[in-house]
Each structure stands twice: as structure tokens, then as C-alpha cells.
Amino acid sequence: MSDKVIIFDTTLRDGEQCPGASMNLREKMEVARQLARLNVDVIEAGFPCISDGDFEAVRQIATEVRGPIIAGLARCVAGDIDAAGAAVKPAGERGRIHVFLATSKIHREHKLRKAHEEIVRLAVEGVRRAKSLVRDVEFSPEDASRTEPEFLAQVVQAAIEAGATTVNIPDTVGFAVPEQFGALIRYLRDNVKNIADAIISVHCHNDLGLAVANSLAAVQAGARQVEGTINGIGERAGNAALEEVVMALKTRGDYFGGVSTGVQTREILKSSRLIARMSGLFVPRSKAIVGENAFAHSSGIHQDGMLKNRTTYEIMEPQDVGWGDTELPLTKHSGRAAMVNRLAHLGHEHLSDAEVGDIFRRFKEIGDRKKFVYDDDLAALVEDATLGGGSDTFDLDYIHVTSGTTTVPTATVRLRRRGGNASGTNGDNAEETLQDSAPGNGAVDAAMKAIDRILGYQGHLVEYHVQAVTGGKDALGEVTLKVDFGEGKLLTGKGASTDVIEASARAYLNAVGRVAQKRRQSRAGDLGEASEEPLAAQTP
């Protein structure tokens, strides 16, 4: 067997299916570029058939992102496969179609209502159709961990004969336990006569908290591709956290027989933080590898040991995954060129002149309010200025709030419109300003109600989170919220400022921009995300 474990990242597909974690095209491109810098082997960029937006995201990633294989997911359905083939075509030889079909008894009887022979036939037809479009085809028998091993071996063998170059064994509902899952991989190696003609992959979910453990057990049993997401995000309890899998293989190479990955581990922390911002799903402080406490020591005994020898209580170097001192921070006296250079260092190399100008304006504003502007501050400003669904329509120009224990909280908000049109506005003046005031139950609520009055929306705030981007009393505050606009799906908004009320208004305006964009796409005939849920429920 090869000593290389292929890392297959499905953050942009399975990870994005997590409720409230959907990303727009710009955000997906930022994530894909960072995954390329992380040097994952495969990026599953999306499910092209579910919407025009998902198709375009996969196609653009296949066009612009160099290095990794770019995969598109498809059911064993002709339309799905053709859409995936068209979407990954710009990647050329790096294009992969990932087809799947349920095989377990419970899925056969209750979802598909098909016999064994029909399942095998559909799997073969799906793989063959995909093979006619791309050289690289992956097949997944959905719910493999609950499929009878004998039938699973039959389906896998037929898929390889039809042309599958990778066979993925999904633990779709997180049912497996490590010893049993490893035994299943060994069973397939021993009982599928052509198994050497394909790479065995695994895709584990975390319903019992065993996704990483099951993935590692599969590697020990002979699997040579692991699928997962950064930070372990995904449907229900999530997927295998790739940063944990990678560092376990690296740190315990003695146990895993010296297998390795090609991942640039120093990019792990940067990837984790970017995806947390893009998805709006925060990383718990105690999260392994990338949590704030991952390398923190508070116990006196531990601290004493650390002072004598770090290896007493640390099994890996923090710097190996990207922790450590950042470069010297910028200040308000730093020029545009210095800021652009630092943005490029952080991976933001695809900004337009207009976007750089907007970020530099915010950078100067922040520089006037705090002594230093750190890398994390800059990353938050980039997202706040460029990655929101509606930031190209409205800017927060002015906000004034009165609040206190003996007064009704009231906010006055002025928005600057930069182009386009949205519900509740009149005319197309590119620099039109719109202003209104509203009372609320608090300063944040008043600011949001003022925005609603201006733009004609009625959003219901479901979740609200605020955290300091960096340390210190003058830290930039980043607000992430989830809003229900009656669209049948929560929309995420994000904003950053040294003032929490301003950051909240920016975050809410970001969410409003997303719903405006969604409605424009719907009017234009885009399928949007309306068809996503029934399809997403049938994935590996």
C-alpha cells in the first residue's frame, strides 16, 4: 500500500450543509484558495445540480483554483452527473465526479424501494456515465456502515469494474465504532477481488463523537483517503475534523506505520479561522489543535513542567499548526502599500482596486480608534468590506444611538447606496443616502429596526454572537448573527468594528444584503437554495 493518505476536503459541500453555514460565491472562492494553500489533495467544491449558484461555484473554483483535484457531487442520476461533469470540466485532468447511491437495507426498503440487483445496476450505470465525462470517478455506497458486508463488497466490486478509481465507504449517520469500522475496511480488502484497482476512502460523521477515531481506524486498516471538513463542520454533529486527522497521523506516525499527508500544517490555524468566519460557526475554546486553549496551561504542575521542558505537557509544536507570534502589527501611520502587502501575505490577493480602497478607508478609521491593527483585525475588515452578500448595495454611513436605564433606546441610521436595487428603495442613484430612526428594546434592536424601516425588511433575530478579534480593551469586535426573513432558511450576517453597536448594525445589514441577493436571484429564475434540503438529506 501507499504510505500517502489523500486528504479530501468537503467543507464547501458537506460542511456548508450545516444549517446557517451557507456561503456566497465570494466566500467559497476565499475558502477554496485557502484550502489550496493548505495543500489538500481534493476539494469537493459543491453539489452542482442543486442550484445555479452551486453549479457556478464549482465551475469557478475548477477554473481558478490550481493544485488540488476539484470534485463535484452527484447522485446516480443522469442529470446530476451531467451537471457535475460540466461544472468540473474547466479543471481538466484535475476534475472528479463523485457519484453516490444508498446501499443499506433501511435505505433500500424505505427510501429507494429497490432490490439488490437494481441498486447494483444503477451504481454501474452512474459510474459509467461519469467515466464518459471525466477520467477520475469516485463512488460512494451511502450508509455503507449499515450495509450488509457481503452486498457492500458486491456493489464496490461492480463500481470498480465500471471504472471507479476511488471507492468511498461512508459512515453516513455516524453509526460505526472504530474496531468495527476498521474490520469493515479489512473485509473489503480481503473480499473485493479488484480492490487494488481503486483507492479506499472513508467519510465519517460525528453523531457519536467518533468520526476522527473511525477515520484513523480505517487508515490503520488500509484506507488511503480520508474525507472531512475543517473544524469538523457539517450536517447534524458534523464530519471528521481534518486538522485532527492530519495531526494525529503526523504526531503518531509510530503507530500508523509512517503514513503521511501532503498538508502544509502551518496553514491549519489560518484555515480554521477563515472557515469559522465564512461559515459563522465558531470554534470552541477547548477544540483540539485550533481551539484557543489547545496549547494553554493553567495548572501549576503543568506550568512547572512546561518551564522545565515543553514536551512534558505538549505532544506537538504549536508553531507546526500555525500558532505563534504574528508579524509586527500595522498602525494608522501605515500606508496603503504596506496594508496591501500584508493582505497578500494573509492570502487576500484577489481584491479589486475599489475593494482595496474601501478596506483602506476602514483600516484608517480603525487605526484612529486603536493603537495597532493586527492580522486578525485585517482579516475581519476584508470580510466585512468584501464578502457580504449585499455589501455591494448598501454601506453603513452613519449610526447614532441613545440608550440608558431611563430612556427608550433609539437609533438613527444612514445608509449609502453604491448601486443596484433592493426591496424598499426607490430610484437607482449610485450614491443615494437613506436615513431613518426607530426605537427598540435595546441599542442593537433599535439599530436593526432602523435598517428595517429604511429597506422595508422584517427580520427576526434568532442567534447573536459577539467576540473580540484580538486582545486588549481596544479590540475589534466581530458580530455574527443569524436572521429569519421568512425565507425558510436562516441567513448569516457578519460585521466588525471597535464599537459593538456599529458591528451589530453592519452584521445585520450584511444579512439583509444576502436576502436581497437571494430574492433577486429568485426573480431571475435561479433555483437558489430552495431545492437543497431534500437533496442534502441524501448525501454521504
Q: Domain of 461: which CATH number?
A: 3.30.160.270
pLDDT level of residue 244 (50, 70, 90 thresholds): very high
Cα-based distances in Å from 419 to 145, 387, 456? 52, 16, 17
- Check residues 310 and 28 and name the one with the higher pLDDT: 28
| 423 in Cβ contact with 464 (< 8 Å) | no
What does the pLDDT read at residue 493?
87
Same domain, 151 and 221: yes
Higher pLDDT, 474 or 330: 330
Does 531 map to a domain? Answer: no
Angle between helices 268-279 and 242-251 (to 10 degrees): 170
Which pLDDT band, with edges at 50, 70 and 90, does 94 fall under?
Answer: very high
Residues 195-243: tens digit of each pLDDT:
999 999 999 999 999 999 999 999 999 999 999 999 999 999 999 999 9
Of all residues in the chain, the percent with pLDDT exceeding 70 is: 89
Establish if 160 belongs to a structural domain: yes
The sheet with strand 394-404 has its strands ordered as 394-404, 407-417, 433-439
Among 102-111, 157-166, 325-334, the range of highest mean pLDDT: 157-166
Q: How does DSSP classify residue 77?
A: S
Query: In sequence order, which residues have a C-beta less than 8 Å from that of residue 216 and are 6 or more positions away?
Result: 178, 245, 248, 249, 256
Residue 387 pLDDT grade (very low, low, confident, very high; cuts 50, 70, 90): low
CA pair distance 45, 433, nearest whole angstrom: 38
Do 257 and 399 lie in one domain? The reply is no
Mean pLDDT within 506-524: 79
Buried b (16+ CB within 10 A) or exposed e, 398-437: ebebeeeeeeebbbbbbbebeebebeebeeeeeeeebebb
472 and 340 share one domain: no
Q: Let me know whether 303 and 447 are in one domain.
A: no
Q: Which of 24-33, 146-155, 463-472 shows the lowest per-residue confidence on average (mean pLDDT)?
A: 463-472
The Cα–Cα gap between 79 and 75 comes to 9
Which pLDDT does position 100 carry in this prediction? 98
CA gyration radius for the chain? Answer: 25
- The band of 349, judged by pLDDT with boundaries at 50, 70 and 90, is confident
Q: Is residue 381 part of a domain?
A: no
**C-alpha 412 chain-centroid distance:** 35
- pLDDT for the residue numbered 494: 85
What digits encode the pLDDT tens for the residues 478-492?
A: 898 989 998 777 888
**235 shares a domain with 256:** yes
Least confident of 21-35, 194-208, 209-223, 284-298: 284-298
Same domain flag for 182 and 296: no
Query: What is residue 37's predicted lDDT score, i.e. its pLDDT?
Result: 96
Helices (H), 311-352: 336-345
The beta strand positions in 374-441, using DSSP E, are 394-404, 407-417, 433-439
**What does the pLDDT read at residue 536?**
40
Instruction: Please indicate whether residue 316 or residue 450 has the higher confidence score (pLDDT).
Output: 450
Of 530 and 60, the structure prediction assigns the larger pLDDT to 60
Check whether residue 247 and residue 360 sit in a common domain.
Answer: no
Residues 429 and 416 sit within 8 Å (Cβ to Cβ): no
Task: Report the alpha-carbon distance of residue 501 to residue 257 in Å, rounded.
Answer: 53
What CATH number has the domain bearing residue 173?
Answer: 3.20.20.70
Same domain, 200 and 222: yes
For residue 200, what are the β-bridge partners? 167
Higher-scoring residue by pLDDT: 141, 357: 141
Whether residue 143 is predicted with pLDDT greater than 70 in this model: the reply is: yes
pLDDT class of 305 with cuts at 50, 70, 90: low
Task: Indicate if 182 and 257 belong to the same structural domain.
Answer: yes
Q: Across residues 165-194, what is the average pLDDT?
A: 98
What value does the mean pLDDT take over residues 41-58?
95
Is residue 530 a part of any domain in this protein?
no
Which of the pair, 211 or 470, is modelled with greater confidence? 211
What does the block give as the cell for 504?
451589530
DSSP letter at 229 equals: B
Same domain, yes or no: 126 and 42: yes
- When pLDDT is cut at 50, 70 and 90, the band that residue 307 belongs to is low
Q: Please state the rounded mean pLDDT for residues 511-520.
A: 80
Q: Is residue 287 part of a domain?
A: no
Residue 349, phi then psi, degrees to nearest 5: -105, 0
Integer Cα distance of 174 and 369 in angstroms: 48
The answer on pLDDT for 302 being more than 70 is: no
454: Cα within 13 Å, side-chain hemisphere: 29
pLDDT bin (cut points 50, 70, 90) of residue 533 is very low
pLDDT recorded at residue 450: 95
Tens digit of each residue's pLDDT (9 = 90 or more) over 95-131: 999 999 999 999 999 998 899 999 999 999 999 999 9
Look at residue 522 in the predicted model and tell me its pLDDT.
67
Question: For 349-353, what is the mean pLDDT?
Answer: 84
Instruction: Report the domain count for the chain.
Output: 4
Q: What percent of the chain has pLDDT over 90?
A: 58
Res 532: pLDDT: 34
pLDDT band at 347 (very low <50, low <70, confident <90, very high): confident
DSSP symbols for 472-532: STTPPEEEEEEEE-SSSS-EEEEEEESSHHHHHHHHHHHHHHHHHHHHHHHHTT--TTTTH
Query: In which band, very low, low, confident or very high, does the pLDDT at 537 lie, cut at 50, 70 and 90?
Result: very low
Which cell numbers in the block locate residue 306?
A: 512546561
Mean pLDDT of all residues in 303-318? 70
Which domain covers residue 432, as residue numbers? 394-523
The length of the chain in residues reads: 540
What's the confidence (pLDDT) of residue 527?
A: 39
In a domain, residue 263? The reply is: yes
In a domain, 389, yes or no: no
Q: What's the CA gap between 510 and 394, in Å, rounded?
A: 9
Residue 389 reports pLDDT greater than 50: no
pLDDT at 106: 94
Average pLDDT, the chain: 88
Q: Which region among 33-37, 376-380, 453-457, 523-527 has the lowest average model confidence (pLDDT)?
A: 523-527
| Same-domain pairing of 100 and 203 | yes
SS3 content of the chain, % helix, strand, coil (to 5): 45, 20, 35
Q: Which of 536, 538, 526 is nearest to 55 (CA)?
A: 526
Q: Quick check: 152 pLDDT over 70? A: yes
Taking phi first (over 0 means left), then psi (-120 to 50 degrees means alpha), and beta for anything else, what does residue 67 get?
Answer: left
Band (pLDDT 50/70/90 cuts) for residue 528 is very low
**392 pLDDT above the threshold of 50:** no
Whether residue 139 has pLDDT greater than 90:
yes
pLDDT at 394: 78
Sign of dihedral through CA atoms 484, 488, 489, 493? negative
> What is the longest distance spanned by two Cα atoms in the chain?
79
Based on the domain organization, do 243 and 312 belong to the same domain?
no
In a domain, 387, yes or no: no
